[in-house]
Amino acid sequence: MVLIAALLGVFSLYFLQGRLYRKYWAKNLSTTIHFSKSIAVEGDENQLIETVINKKLLPLPLLKVKFMTSKDLEFMDGTNSTVTDNYYRNDLLPIMMYQKLTRTLPFVCSHRGYYNISSIELVCSDIFISFEGVLTKPANTSLYVYPKSVDANKLTPPFQKILGTLLTKRYLYEDPFEFRSIREYQFYDTLKSINWKASAKTGSYMVNVKDYTASQEVKILLNLEQESIWRYEDLEEESIRLTASLASSFMEQGIPISIATNGKDLVTKETVVLPAGSGSSHLNGLYEALSRIDTSLPKGSFVHTVWEDTPVDYLIIISYYQKEDLQELLLSLQRKKIDFTWIIPTNQELKVTARETLQPAIVEWKL
């Protein structure tokens, strides 16, 4: 009789807890996931924060929290995860009644990009693992990883050359009565622009930034078209970093920047075009646009999809692609007396093969 009573008790418990978990496990259960910083730069460390709250009397000892994100976010804790074409996380988070659990997952932003976690999946079993309930919750958390800056020492000569050309062309110079701001000294600033009073207060050199009575526009054309059937991902990424670094440097000088590229946005699948502008909001928009370029998407012909024969004060073409259609276009710019610089990123495999006539306008950027 005792054995029968025990078996009946176990069966009753099994049946009762099964009904309770099936009916109530998802009730008053909430979860969130978010990046501690929504903007980072290549190489930065960041954190992903998971929070689960169980506001009921029923404990959940077998609760799994699952999500998927890009493998370019390199998580330092490799447990409960699988990395293939993406990063898959599967954490077991036992949570008791009226409890809040928070997990912090540190990672390194190893690659420029735009990363989004759209949903979290909660999987719960009862005590006897007789059933499995699944609930998908929206997450809608995103992260921009901006391209990192290129070596300032390498950037100085081409930047100063282009800036010098712009300054000699500018017929209306800085207005000494139009003060705009004070910022830290950069390698291209003149000594006369140093604000000695502000420098003494901060302990580092600070310079006055004046407004211009008229400003000139620099247009950067970023060509990600492939030179051959081989993709040079290192040159693609360096081209994007160059675009960001040059744009930032020119905007520091109050010079409006516009950008066009045959690289496509990973969300809209459209080519990226940014009209001329300056200021911090324009710079942030530029960095976001460059972060969202997906170099794996097909790229149209530079000559047919990016080039527009519109007047502009100065053109910068960043392109490791050097075929005849591009060279013919640049030769036509020379004949029209249009000022431009062609920056050619190169590596050990790809060298400069452009015509001798174009050499004065070429800057080789070696990786």
203 DSSP assignment: S
Q: pTM of this prediction?
A: 0.83
HSE-CB for 100 with a 13 A CA cutoff: 4
Res 357: pLDDT = 94
- The enclosing domain of 330 has a CATH number of 3.40.50
Q: Residue 270: which domain range?
A: 152-171+215-366
| Structural domain count, the chain | 3
Q: What is the pLDDT of residue 172?
A: 44
**pLDDT value at position 229?**
84
pLDDT score of 171:
44
The pLDDT assigned to 196 comes to 81
Residues 180 and 281 reside in one and the same domain = no
pLDDT of residue 214: 47
pLDDT value of position 266: 96
Note the pLDDT of residue 297: 95
The predicted pLDDT at position 366 comes to: 95
Burial 162-199 (b: 16+ CB within 10 A, else e): bbeebeeebeeebeeeeeeeeeebeeebeeeeebeebb
Q: Which residues of the chain have pLDDT under 50?
A: 171-175, 177-178, 212-214
Q: What pLDDT, on a 0 to 100 scale, did the predictor assign at position 14? A: 62
SS3 117: strand
Q: Which of 246, 238, 279, 83 has its CA nearest to residue 166? A: 246
Instruction: Please report whether residue 229 resides in a domain.
Output: yes
* 271/347 same-domain check: yes
Beta strand 39-41 with 132-146 is: parallel
CATH number at residue 55: 2.60.40.10
pLDDT at 211: 52
The verdict on residue 225 lying in a domain is: yes
Residues 319 and 221 in one domain: yes
Query: Are 274 and 136 found together in one domain?
Result: no
pLDDT digits (tens, 9 = 90+) for 180-190: 567 787 766 77
Q: Which pLDDT value is given to residue 109?
A: 97
Examine the domain organization and report whether 200 and 308 are in the same domain.
no
Q: What's residue 78's pLDDT?
A: 84
